[in-house]
Amino acid sequence: MARPLALTSGEPAGIGPDITLAAWLRRSELDLPPFYLLGDRAALAERARTLGLAVEFADVGPDEAASAFSRALPVVATGKAATARPGAPDDTSAAAALASIRQAVADVRSGRAAAVVTNPIAKNVLYRAGFRHPGHTEFLAELAASGGATPQPVMMLWSPALAVVPVTIHVSVREALAQLSTDLIVSTARIVVADMTAHFGLKAPRLAIAGLNPHAGEDGTLGMEDIEIIAPAVEILRRDGVDARGPLPPDTMFHAAARKTYDCAICPLHDQALIPIKTVAFEDAVNVTLGLPFIRTSPDHGTAFDIAGTGKANPSSLVAALRLAARMASSS
């Protein structure tokens, strides 16, 4: 039997429990791959009662999860209780969320699970508890560190209609401009090519590299960054045999005809990448972390405290994340 996916609890007060329960209840209809939730069974059962859902739970270890999946939602205990009510994080939230992530990574690295799928976290809740990373992506890179070397994590947002990668992620625009360099663009693109080749079945991924300034700088009249930073990166990639084009004007890269000409758009800034994919594929986009020694996907949305526990949460992005994780794992 195939190894199951390790699904983290995410922020206990958010919609992670809601979409997990909704996805499992539709497991047969959606033909979902087996997964288990790392978290507090009592908290999950309480959320099911709040939502009026009849769900069977199975307290299991990772090795037993796949066989239990068809009859009950497998739950692997982390040893951290979660007492937060929907929409109201409490003192247990950060510890429960972080323990779940740590254990999921450990399970995958030990071969007990095929991939990590993460439910949404509330970064402000984690920051108050002393969390020092900008987000999930950077924390996962730390957990993946081996021999003192931390891999470069690359955040991809993927959907059947569009895949995008921001070169700079969870920093201010001012800091992003300070970070942006030819070397960073090249290293990011090389990771994208390697992982899309290994896990997405693409022999020669086509990359579209977005410019930074309006109209990609208009030959330097609107800024020199496109000429001095981005164009050299594209040239290096092309010399390496990568099918890369750019810098391209970002405002003409994302219409339907343009999207057919590349497999992934690489953008200097966070919002250059995320605005188009959230416009094109808001409900089924998946957050994928590339560059790690394990597979990690996540729904492309937040904790949605305002609808937690109401039954209004849409599990579509989690379903897409589970399916993509299984697909990537099967191609490894």
Contacts made by residues 275-278, CB under 8 angstroms, sequence distance 24+ = 276/162, 276/164, 277/157, 277/159, 277/162, 277/163, 277/164, 278/157
Q: Is 119 annotated as a binding residue?
A: no
270 is in an annotated binding site: yes
pLDDT at 1: 55
Question: Which residue in 203, 193, 195, 199 sits closest to 330, CA to CA?
Answer: 199
End-to-end CA separation in angstroms for the chain: 16
319 CB-side CA count, 13 A: 20
The one-digit pLDDT tens for each residue of the chain (332 residues) are 589 999 999 999 999 999 999 999 999 999 999 999 999 999 999 999 999 999 999 999 999 999 999 999 999 999 999 999 999 999 999 999 999 999 999 999 999 999 999 999 998 898 998 888 887 888 898 888 866 788 899 999 999 999 999 999 888 999 999 999 999 999 999 999 999 999 998 999 999 999 999 998 888 888 899 999 999 999 999 999 999 999 999 999 999 999 999 999 999 999 999 999 999 998 889 999 999 999 999 998 899 999 999 999 999 999 999 999 999 998 76
CA distance 148 to 24: 38
Residue 199 marked as a ligand binder: no
- The answer on whether 301 is annotated among ligand-binding residues is no
What SS3 state is found at 247?
A: strand
| Residue 137 known to bind ligand | yes
Give me the pLDDT at residue 216, please: 87
| Sequence ranges of the chain with CATH classification 3.40.718.10 | 1-147+293-332, 161-280
> Known binder of ligand: residue 190?
no
How much is the pLDDT for 254? 97
Among residues 291, 287, 312, which one has the least CA distance to residue 119?
287
Please report where in the chains the tokens 């560190």 appear, as a residue. 145
Q: How does DSSP assign 272-321, residue by residue?
A: HHHHHHHHH-TTT-EEEEESSSS-EEEESS---GGGTTTT----HHHHHH
Q: Is residue 312 a known part of a binding site? A: no
Q: Which of 265, 257, 2 is nearest to 113 (CA)?
A: 2
pTM comes to 0.91
CATH for 1-147+293-332, options being 3.40.50.300, 3.40.718.10, 3.30.420.40, 3.40.50.2300? 3.40.718.10
**β-strands 264-267, 163-166 pairing:** parallel
Question: Any known ligand binding at 71?
Answer: no
pLDDT of residue 149: 81
Third-level CATH fold of 161-280? Isopropylmalate Dehydrogenase (3.40.718)
Which pLDDT score, from 0 to 100, does residue 246 have?
95
